[in-house]
Amino acid sequence: MIYMDTSALVALIVNEPGSAAVAAWYARSRSEIVSAAWCVTEFASALGVKQRTSQLDAAQAQAAWTRFECLIENDLRLLPVDPVDFHRAAILTLDAASGIRAGDALHLACAERAGAKGLVTLDVVMAKNAQRMKIKPVSLTP
């Protein structure tokens, strides 16, 4: 089971730096792909930010949302977020040296609880924290 965070999900759906690498990994992946249900809110937020900053217009954002919903329906299993995940994420963020943000800590807590063997992310801080938690960051280079 491989966990995908929102940075990788956005890059898979919306053209941005890192998209080609994520798409190539996705095309060759044979693992079950999961993410926390929290990614739905984060993905929608990313589309909103991209509209507010004129990176996407409303039609492009709607098309991206539709592709994301298809991904959820066909290839991405959403994991529930439990109260224990919020507590674990809080503990992770208390370590100031980790540099982890709350949303990313919540992803890591969910990945850890689910027993994910790998993490697909474009976030260097997230990858370092995953490695620290014995969740292997997935290399996006062929």
Task: Write out pLDDT tens, residues 84-129.
Answer: 999 999 999 999 999 999 999 999 999 999 999 999 999 999 999 9
**CA distance linking residue 69 with residue 98, whole number of Å:** 32
User: What's the confidence (pLDDT) of residue 110?
Assistant: 97
Which of 107, 98, 91 lies closest to 129, judged by CA? 98
How much is the average pLDDT of 27-53? 96
**Average pLDDT of 73-87?**
97
Q: Which CATH architecture has domain 2-137?
A: 3-Layer(aba) Sandwich (3.40)
Return d(Cα 112, Cα 100) in angstroms, integer: 15
What stretch of H or E contains 2? strand 2-4
Could you state, in order of their start, the residue ranges of all structural domains in the chain?
Answer: 2-137
Given a contact cutoff of 8 angstroms between Cβ atoms, the answer to whether 119 and 138 are in contact is: yes
Q: What is the pTM of this model?
A: 0.93
pLDDT reading at 27 higher than 90? yes
